[in-house]
Amino acid sequence: MGDRKVGRARHRRLADAYRSFTLDGALATDEAMVDELVRDTALSGVVAEDASLAKMRTVGWEPITGNGAFPSGQVFGGPFRADEIFIANSWRVERNVVYPTLTGRATFYVDHPWFIEAGEQLPTHKPAPGTGGADREFVLTGGHPRWSIHACNATNPVILQTTRGHPTLVVNSAVAAAKGIDDDARVRVFNDLGSFSVQARLSPTVRPGQVILYSSWEPYGFEQWADATQVEAGMVKWLHLVTGWGHLRYTPFQWQPAPFDRLTRVDIEADG
């Protein structure tokens, strides 16, 4: 691309990367880096002002004391209070803070012309589009697991003690037996878009026409780094492009086209 800049990108010298990333060496150790993160969190108003890594090592934890200065923290619409259940949107009643919608009220009806054209001006059920091939035997579903929350925690030694240490596809026990798939055996998951390999975890609680792959596993956890995105379509729903209508607008980190695992159609077979 030569010298042409993209967006707000700036040229940076790779030779300066270490110095810039560590603030001239001040954050060169893991301990210094984590302490900086804790103190920044305190500065933003999420935890107490005196929070530090040393204090957390002594006390064992640091309670949340506020929403923080981030826009996402304000969207919660309620305060964090010690020893109380958090109630979202309580500010709407206690402080008369309006909702970030076109009317300032809780909104179920979106009278944007695109939503009306799509027949989705009110919450509406529509059948899944059948991405991956409508004739495939299974629907792939997933979700955030309790034992990792995000991928950065998936390989934590403590967290690994709560898993099998590798990604697993949860398959109905009877279905697996009919297909000759044993527990922890490798299976191939495939559809019209692609395929990937993963180890099976059998369970009678999974519906026969369903397989579950929980998120929070990085591509390096899969053979040849081929993860579930190989079978998931990166569909962009045109209604997601609506902007300038109350809360329907673009904000950084809150909108992006991405592969989606809900009700993606797949087949599975024993892999070797």
> Are 164 and 262 within one domain?
yes
Q: What is the pLDDT of residues 53-85, one digit of tens each?
A: 999 899 888 888 888 877 777 778 888 877 888
What one-character-per-residue DSSP string does 47-101 give?
B-TT--HHHHHHHS---B----SSHHHHHT-S---TTS---TTTHHHHS-PPPSS
> Are 147 and 80 within one domain?
no
Give domain status of residue 162, yes or no.
yes
The Cα–Cα gap between 134 and 191 comes to 10
Which of 94, 123, 156 is a domain's end point?
94
The dihedral over CA atoms of 157, 63, 53, 72, expressed in degrees to the nearest 10, equals 80
Give domain status of residue 108, yes or no.
no
Which of 72, 94, 116 is a domain's end point?
94
Give domain status of residue 56, yes or no.
yes
Q: What is the pLDDT of residues 99-116, one digit of tens each?
A: 888 888 888 899 999 999
> Are 142 and 266 within one domain?
yes
Give domain status of residue 99, yes or no.
no
Say which CATH number the domain at 246 has.
2.40.40.20
The Cα–Cα gap between 9 and 22 comes to 21
Q: What is the pLDDT of residues 129-184, one digit of tens each?
A: 778 888 899 999 988 887 777 788 888 888 888 888 899 999 999 999 999 999 99
Domain hosting 159: range is 138-270
Written as six digits, the tokens of 58 are 């002594």
Provide the pLDDT confidence category of residue 10 given band limits of 50, 70 and 90.
confident
